[in-house]
Amino acid sequence: MGQYAALGDVAGKRVLVRSDLNVPLDGDRITDDGRIRASVPTIRELSEAGARVVVTAHLGRPKGEPDAAYSLRPVAARLGELLEREVAFAEDTVGESARAVVDGLADGDVAVLENVRFNAGETSKDDAERGAFADQLAGLADAFVSDGFGVVHRKQASVYDVAQRLPHAMGGLVSTEIEVLQRLTRDVQRPYVVVLGGSKVSDKLAVIDNLLGKADTLLIGGGMVFTFLAAEGHEVGKSLLEQDQVETCRDYLRRSRESGVEIVLPTDVVVAPEFKADAPPTTVVVDAIPADQIGLDIGPDSATAFAERIAGATTVFWNGPMGVFEFDAFAGGTRAVAQALTEVDGLSVVGGGDSAAAVRRLGFADDAFGHISTGGGASLEYLEGKELPGITVLED
């Protein structure tokens, strides 16, 4: 229990654990339980030490009020299967049901509270409103363990404010994530290659600013590539394009030429007339993207070029699928990049919810990579050099 030494002996104590159980669901079927699995060791360790474990987490983006579509009930059931023990479920987060469930816990028992984002106070920008909700959460426990890496970049009640109200400790999952991120920022083993893709373009462009001073090579694919291609003067048809970021991309390309940090863009892309699984794919070179088509993957030549650079690196960080991997016809680039990461002789890190889901969907084993991070946004903000409020608060 070294990890939790700051909490003293946890036996018999009610320990509130903030986990990240934000898994993709299809109805009430969990399509990828990776985050639940990743949360198990901390919960199990506390339970085995005799704590009364009260898990709080969010699912999706409900609007600050109960919404059955975002209930954590199926997630609690899956957690019970993985822990191989009964997991109690509270129908609310801090109400009557939560209090009754927590009161009913014996030493070593585990409960999950309903989606913390059913309460407007959780994500409120108003310190007083957030604080009032954190008071209620803190009232359910004697100590707090922060283990939801996917949310540590958020100043939210169950991540930040609650830590100010209870004796607290960093969970094992979060500390492992931070250790890996440190290896990507301090004394990095070179060559250091970063692969960026996915669809959250404006979110992710910010990280490039910092990486231009750190990485040796940046490989760009996914939805964000089209803003770069537009910055180079190419037509991108109906592809994802952030017009107001074109200038930023042009600036990155200029800085890359000046600094010697290479930004590598694809030379070919796979396009289709529609965003659909069975849309007919065509491979075109990047200066011949038809006006009526959407770019949905990097092309095979680019995939090979990216894979070669990755396999030759000693440190690789990858965030964001290279294409719409959910559709088989547009999964080739993502598969090639994933395969290359498994061949890295050094540290390979996959970050991001969809990127992690992609490698599993494409049949790669988790242990084929050095580390699969549970938090995309949090790891990117760390790499951007930003302070993570949910980490800083634990240091006080």
- Contact footprint for ligand ADP (CB under 6 A): 197-200, 222-223, 240, 295-296, 319-321, 323-324, 326, 352-355, 376
DSSP one-letter code for 188: P
Part of the chain binding Mg ion (CB under 5 A), chosen from 25-33, 44-52, 348-356, 362-370: 348-356
**In terms of CB distance, is 121 or 353 closer to Mg ion?**
353
Out of 35, 117, 130, 204, the active site residue is: 35
Out of 34, 148, 171, 353, the active site residue is: 353
**Torsion (CA) 115, 133, 140, 71 in degrees, nearest 10:** -10
Catalytic residue flag (residue 139): no
Helix axes 353-361, 332-342, angle to 10 degrees: 90
Question: Which residues, at least 6 apart from 101, have a Cβ–Cβ distance to it below 8 Å?
Answer: 88, 89, 90, 111, 113
Q: How far is the CB of 355 from ligand ADP (least distance, A)?
A: 3
**In terms of CB distance, is 121 or 281 closer to ligand ADP?**
281
Catalytic residue flag (residue 377): yes
Subset of residues 350 to 379 that bind Mg ion, contact rule: CB under 5 A: 353-354
**In terms of CB distance, is 37 or 200 closer to ligand ADP?**
200
Q: How far is the CB of 222 from Mg ion (least distance, A)?
A: 11
Using rule CB under 5 A, residue 223 touches Mg ion: no
Nearest-CA neighbor of 266 among 218, 225, 294, 238? 225
Catalytic residue flag (residue 35): yes
78, HSE (Cβ side, Cα atoms, 13 Å): 23
Distances (CA, A) of 44 to 3, 35, 83, 211, 394: 13, 15, 7, 37, 21
Q: How far is the CB of 273 from ligand ADP (least distance, A)?
A: 14
Distances (CA, A) of 76 to 34, 73, 113, 223: 14, 5, 9, 34
Catalytic residue flag (residue 171): no
Question: What's the rounded Cα separation, in Å, for the pair 110 and 292?
Answer: 54
**In terms of CB distance, is 10 or 380 closer to Mg ion?**
380
Q: Which does 71 bind (CB under 5 to 8 A by kind): ligand ADP, Mg ion, none?
A: none
Catalytic residues: 35, 200, 353, 377
Q: Which residues bind Mg ion (CB under 5 A)?
A: 353-354
